[in-house]
Amino acid sequence: MIQILKTASILFGLLTVLTGVVYPLGVTLVAQVVFPRAANGSLIEKPGKPAAATNRGVSQPATAPGTWAGSDLIGQPFTDPAYFWGRPSATAPFAFNSMGGSGSNQAPTNPALTDTVRDRVKALRDADPGNEVPVPIDLVTASASGLDPHVSEAGALYQASRVARQRKADAATINKLLLAHIERPTFGILGQARVNVLRLNLALDAALAKTNP
């Protein structure tokens, strides 16, 4: 009996060290060497001083001393009409809560979803009066995770006229910047053309000084 307990204890200790120390450290080392950017959150950096937290979504936690403004993988809430807006988020208790990524799980026949979509369409129309183009579906519905950092190409193009007007910029300049940030389907077949909203807005700030307060 004592021999069995001794053997079991030795195996338990060895497996604890192997799976609890050696393996995690090995995976971390390989990730930092081979995929350092992905292993550290695919952060998007903003040159110069750290980005301040604003309602535009270009933000960084107060505890971070660096210059990063966000992540390629997680959306941020933009409400300023001079910026491109991302997909709505159904996460709680606040939008794009990475600790609780989820969708609304509301069925298409749910009146609450219909009302929510109607309100979102109205908000887009109110921010861009005169734009009669049909509102792309991804601008008024949340993704399954609630963290999607992209909008479709159509979703970005729909907002170009509003952004140009708010920035008092030439529409062709905004469209050129937008088209330069379109990400094509992975391997040419996976997914659809999309635009990373945070990257586009950072490029927008770099190219054009915001003219309205």
Percentage of residues in the chain with pLDDT exceeding 90?
38
Q: Residue 36: what residue type?
A: P
Buried/exposed code over 87-121 (b: 16+ C-beta within 10 A; e: otherwise): bbbbbeeebbbeeebbebebeeeeeebeebbeebe
Q: Residue 204: what residue type?
A: L
- pTM confidence score: 0.74
Q: Express each pLDDT in 121-148 by its tens digit.
A: 999 999 999 898 999 999 999 887 878 8
What mean pLDDT, rounded, does the chain reach? 81
Percentage of residues in the chain with pLDDT exceeding 70?
81
Q: Express each pLDDT in 96-128 by its tens digit.
A: 766 666 666 777 888 888 898 999 999 999 999
* Spatial CA neighbour of 54 closest among 84, 70, 75, 77: 77
pLDDT of amino acid 209: 62
- Asked whether 58 and 51 are in contact (CB, 8 A), the reply is yes
